[in-house]
Amino acid sequence: MLLVLVCRDQQAEPHTRRISLHMLLLEIKAGDPRTEKMPVDQDWTAVYPSATPFRPNAVPLPLRMGYPVKGGVPPEKKGNLELLKIPNFLHLTPVAIKKHCEALKPFCTEWPSALDTDATCDEHFPIKVDGTDYVSAGPSVRNPSARVVHLRVKLSSLNLDDHASKKMLKLVGNKYCKDTDVITIKTDSCPLRQQNQDYAMYLLTVLYHESWKTEAWEAEKSVADMEEYSWEDSPSQRNLLDVLVRRKAAGEGEGEGEEVREQLLGRSEVQEYKDSVTRLKNEGESESAVLQYKEAVKKVLNL
């Protein structure tokens, strides 16, 4: 490539001088790299104020990355495409984060002094929404799994009566954990996390209002359809009362009556028998449940 310079003189004919661009560039001396001019105590937030690709001339670190050729060392940072492929966090240094926090502090309020314990926070804010942020070593910082939202709330914190609580358990199915009394709703249908969070709140609202509804067919529930065993008015209660009433009538000569039945039901050994039968029916057979039932039968029958 050539540069054509035209020189003019008032008393001379114009003439043309040809200069090569390569010769012109040779006369320009290359300066020192920017990394050599950076002071040790420089403001790094001014070098990387925001997220930007890796710049080898702006990072005074001996970084190397890539596949080592023939057992050597990885390539250096200059002209290294591997360092450009991955996202960096050079703009999120502790000093930069502190500056961001100081800029946001005037817009924040102090933490309420009344919310001093986890129990108090759970009482006033029973709903918990969890999400996960991922850090990926790839060309994009986005991760499809980051859209997943888990909404958790305790069943006891909802304003539900006995009927609504049992219906809520039927509606949520295996989303309820009996050990922790927590209902977990997972949403991942929408592409964005905020959309999934709104959808989870919508599902919780629908479940709450549907639990309070009483359909006509619910009045047709029988004992076999009940969610848990109830000892009141059960064959076990009637059989025990019949045995105790006959024994009391044979020993003391008292007849049957409502007062006698209420008196028998108030005994401590009868209450222990009720608890043992209820546990055996609801929790299933186990060694401790069977032993508890055995001791309750011996006490109630004076064996």
Of 43-47, 252-256, 260-264, which gets the smallest average pLDDT? 252-256
Cα separation of 87 and 50, whole Å?
12
281 vs 45: which has the higher pLDDT: 45
Report pLDDT for 3. 46
Report pLDDT for 209. 95
Average pLDDT over residues 45-64: 90
Cα separation of 165 and 178, whole Å?
13
CATH 3.30.160.20, applies to 119-215: yes
Give start-end residues of each CATH 3.30.160.20 domain in the chain: 119-215
Average pLDDT over residues 101-107: 94
Whether the predicted pLDDT of 12 surpasses 50: no
Q: What is the mean pLDDT of the chain?
A: 83
Report pLDDT for 257. 59
Question: Would you mind telling me the total number of residues written for the chain in this entry?
Answer: 303
Report pLDDT for 4. 46
Report pLDDT for 87. 83
DSSP character string of 145-208 = GGG-EEEEEEGGGS---HHHHHHHHHHHGGGEETTTTEEEEEE--SSSHHHHHHHHHHHHHHHH
261 vs 253: which has the higher pLDDT: 261
Cα separation of 189 and 203, whole Å?
13
Binned at pLDDT 50, 70 and 90, residue 7 comes out as very low
Binned at pLDDT 50, 70 and 90, residue 6 comes out as very low
Whether the predicted pLDDT of 152 surpasses 90: yes
Cα separation of 44 and 47, whole Å?
5
Average pLDDT over residues 37-59: 89
